[in-house]
């Protein structure tokens, strides 16, 4: 049995995203991701695992609310990858679109699957919304407007 004095090394390595990020409603956008700390250019805001899916699974997901939250990797489609979309498990999926984003998505393919990092491309201040440029805007129905 572990004593209370023994440090938990694994827990020491876990970053509590609630200290760095928060989610709040944004008029005309829904939920948005905001900085609770200052992020400088190049800082990794969050890194999250993903689940990739094929065209058949996409046709099912497109009929659900999840459609608005999955990511498309055009560069993988051009290479003939059968996975056409990815669900991101993390706060990255809450970041809204902007034509002038302050962050970008970086993909990492690992043995355990694809991961996505949200990286600051501009300095981001406390309470500033964190945004990125969606790559699949043309796939959205006309009734979804991007502010």
pTM for this predicted structure: 0.75
For the chain, what is the domain count?
1
Q: Helix (H, G, I), strand (E, B), or coil: what is residue 109?
A: strand
Q: Is residue 147, in this structure, part of any structural domain at all? A: no
Residue (of 118, 128, 131) closest to 42 by Cα position: 118
Who has greater pLDDT, 52 or 3? 52
Q: Is residue 144, in this structure, part of any structural domain at all? A: no
Four-residue CA torsion sign, 80, 107, 138, 143: positive
How far is 85 from 103, CA to CA, in rounded Å?
20
- Domain carrying residue 23: 9-139
Residue 130 has what DSSP assignment?
E
How far is 118 from 105, CA to CA, in rounded Å?
5
For residue 4, the model assigns a pLDDT of 52
Q: Helix (H, G, I), strand (E, B), or coil: what is residue 115?
A: strand
How far is 23 from 33, CA to CA, in rounded Å?
5
For residue 143, the model assigns a pLDDT of 44
For the ranges 23-27, 69-73, 119-123, the maximum mean pLDDT occurs at 119-123
Question: Which CATH number goes with the domain that contains 31?
Answer: 2.170.270.10
Q: Helix (H, G, I), strand (E, B), or coil: what is residue 69?
A: helix
């Amino acid at each position: 049995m572990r004593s209370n004095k023994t440090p938990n090394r694994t827990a020491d390595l876990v970053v509590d995203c609630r200290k760095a990020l928060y989610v709040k409603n944004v008029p005309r956008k829904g939920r948005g991701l905001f900085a609770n700390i200052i992020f400088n250019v190049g800082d990794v805001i969050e890194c999250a695992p993903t689940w990739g899916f094929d065209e058949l699974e996409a046709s099912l997901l497109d009929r659900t609310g999840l459609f608005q939250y999955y990511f498309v990797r055009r560069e993988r489609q051009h290479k003939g990858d059968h996975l056409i979309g990815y669900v991101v498990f993390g706060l990255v999926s809450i970041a809204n679109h902007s034509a002038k984003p302050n962050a970008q998505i970086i993909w990492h393919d690992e043995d355990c699957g694809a991961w996505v990092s949200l990286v600051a491309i501009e300095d981001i201040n406390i309470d500033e919304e964190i945004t990125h440029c969606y790559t699949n805007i043309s796939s959205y129905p006309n009734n979804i407007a991007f502010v």
